[in-house]
């Protein structure tokens, strides 16, 4: 399969009979009995979309949604087709070397917008980049080849199933990252700045992920609700789409729980910073008190009046003993209170 341009596949009775045929032949193949057509378009220009829209009578508003960059995941029903717009996700891992300053807080989440025009005997998929590989979708279709006789609904299920599985993988990776943050919170050599940077980055990635994961429930629900009316598959795919809907709900709920965990980690980090600051202040206070003892005792030497032991060796000895005695006593007291 190529990584750019247009790729077409024709099935007959579940077997691939033709590939990479011209777009002009799509309408003819869609009218044939026992045929199933898939058209995949990568980074299309407006001319290709318009040509395809004219040939398949695609809704112009749906075509505009394909071109729009920030459209929300959705499923809409039109007169001749169903339009589905979703996002596949992938979380990149940084390389082994040090990251540049501008990469420390940069989001690792990569999104691929996938638009699909679902027809009774085919599906047209449009991707805005090649980050999402359709090979896994094709493999899923081949593993469930007996469902291909049910038409475009089976192709849509395989596509959405792979995308939802990708959501699960991304959520799992963020969950692992959050667990590593939890482990590092109480480490002795914990670096506050790095922890804050990682927390901020994961929080940004989680917000971006939730924007595309949460609406998947509505997308699958809409497809499930109107599937029989639009694709005429009977009830055979109901269980498949119901299971897909459960997976979409689980992914959404998991992302919600991660948001709560991240909020808890952030608050715990702030509390630990306060606790560490209090510990430092107690140590400084303890040492200041110890240092104040010799300062106070030796300050007597600066007075203009005689004192016991003035100009006598016994005075120096007495003052030294007093300094050491009080300082050691304070050190023992502060040590027992864990101030030092």
Same domain (yes/no): 96, 196: yes
Same domain (yes/no): 284, 260: no
Residue 275 tokens read as 């606790």
Q: What is the pTM of this model?
A: 0.76
User: Pairing mode, if any, of strands 82-91 and 109-119?
Assistant: antiparallel
* Planar angle of CA 185, 191, 194, nearest 5 degrees: 95
pLDDT value of residue 31: 86
The answer to whether the CB of 8 falls within 8 A of the CB of 29 is: no
Give the HSE-up count for residue 256: Cα atoms under 13 Å, Cβ half-sphere. 8
What distance in Å separates the CA atoms of residue 189 and residue 33, rounded to the nearest whole number? Answer: 69
pLDDT value of residue 3: 40
Same domain (yes/no): 301, 202: no
* Domain membership of residue 281 as a residue range: 276-336
Same domain (yes/no): 30, 155: yes
Q: What is the CATH number of the domain that holds 223?
A: 3.30.460.20
Beta-bridged to residue 35, according to DSSP, are 12
CA distances in angstroms from 130 to 1, 112, 158, 210, 328, listed in the order given: 12, 8, 18, 22, 71
Q: Among the three residues 258, 273, 288, which one is the final residue of a domain in this structure?
A: 273
Same domain (yes/no): 108, 227: yes
| Spatial CA neighbour of 200 closest among 111, 153, 265 | 265
Same domain (yes/no): 317, 173: no
Same domain (yes/no): 228, 283: no
User: How many C-beta atoms lie closer than 10 Å to residue 237's C-beta?
Assistant: 22
What distance in Å separates the CA atoms of residue 101 and residue 339, rounded to the nearest whole number? Answer: 38
Please report, in tens digits, the pLDDT of each residue of the chain (340 residues total): 434 488 999 998 878 899 989 888 888 888 888 889 999 999 888 888 888 888 888 888 888 888 887 788 999 888 788 899 999 999 987 544 444 555 567 788 999 999 999 988 899 999 988 899 899 999 999 888 888 888 888 899 999 999 999 999 999 999 998 888 877 776 666 566 777 788 888 889 999 999 999 999 999 998 888 765 554 545 678 788 889 999 999 999 999 889 888 887 877 777 777 777 777 788 888 888 878 877 777 776 665 666 676 677 777 787 788 888 888 888 888 777 777 7
Residues in the chain: 340
What distance in Å separates the CA atoms of residue 88 and residue 146, rounded to the nearest whole number? Answer: 26
Same domain (yes/no): 147, 160: yes
pLDDT value of residue 62: 86
Same domain (yes/no): 70, 100: yes
The per-type count for the chain, helices as H runs and strands as E runs, is: 9, 7
User: How many C-beta atoms lie closer than 10 Å to residue 67's C-beta?
Assistant: 14
Same domain (yes/no): 54, 186: yes
Q: Among the three residues 273, 288, 305, which one is the final residue of a domain in this structure?
A: 273
Same domain (yes/no): 295, 257: no
- The beta strand positions in the chain, using DSSP E, are 5-12, 15-19, 35-42, 74-77, 82-91, 109-119, 122-127
The answer to whether the CB of 217 falls within 8 A of the CB of 248 is: yes
Same domain (yes/no): 183, 124: yes
The answer to whether the CB of 94 falls within 8 A of the CB of 202 is: no
Q: Among the three residues 249, 273, 297, which one is the final residue of a domain in this structure?
A: 273
Domain count, the chain: 2
What distance in Å separates the CA atoms of residue 302 and residue 171, rounded to the nearest whole number? Answer: 71
Three-class secondary structure of residue 115 per DSSP: strand
| Spatial CA neighbour of 138 closest among 9, 13, 268, 270 | 9
């Amino acid at each position: 399969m190529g990584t750019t341009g247009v790729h077409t596949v024709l099935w007959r009775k579940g077997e691939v009979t033709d590939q990479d045929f011209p777009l002009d032949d799509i309408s003819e193949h869609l009218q044939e009995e026992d045929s199933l057509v898939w058209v995949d378009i990568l980074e299309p220009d407006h001319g290709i979309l318009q040509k395809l829209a004219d040939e398949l009578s695609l809704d112009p508003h749906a075509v505009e949604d394909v071109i729009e960059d920030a459209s929300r995941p959705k499923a809409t029903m039109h007169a001749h087709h169903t339009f589905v717009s979703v996002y596949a996700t992938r979380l990149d891992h940084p390389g082994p070397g040090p990251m540049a300053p501008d990469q420390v807080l940069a989001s690792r989440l990569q999104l691929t917008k996938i638009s699909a025009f679902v027809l009774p005997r085919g599906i047209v998929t449009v991707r805005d980049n090649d980050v999402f590989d359709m090979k896994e979708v094709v493999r899923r279709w081949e593993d469930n080849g007996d469902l291909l006789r049910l038409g475009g609904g089976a192709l849509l299920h395989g596509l959405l199933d792979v995308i939802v599985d990708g959501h699960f993988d991304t959520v799992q990776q963020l969950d692992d990252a959050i667990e590593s943050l939890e482990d590092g919170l109480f480490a002795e050599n914990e670096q506050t700045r790095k922890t804050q940077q990682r927390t901020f980055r994961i929080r940004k990635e989680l917000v971006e992920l939730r924007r595309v994961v949460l609406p998947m429930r509505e997308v699958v629900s809409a497809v499930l609700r109107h599937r029989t009316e639009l694709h005429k598959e009977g009830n055979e795919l109901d269980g498949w789409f119901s299971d897909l809907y459960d997976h979409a709900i689980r992914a959404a709920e998991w992302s919600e729980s991660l948001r709560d965990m991240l909020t808890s980690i952030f608050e715990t980090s702030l509390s630990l910073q306060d606790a560490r600051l209090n510990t430092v202040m107690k140590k400084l206070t303890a040492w200041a008190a110890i240092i104040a003892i010799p300062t106070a005792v030796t300050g007597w030497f600066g007075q203009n009046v005689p004192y016991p032991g003035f100009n006598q060796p016994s005075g120096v000895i007495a003052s030294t003993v007093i300094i050491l005695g009080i300082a050691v006593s304070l050190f023992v007291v502060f040590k027992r209170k864990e101030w030092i």
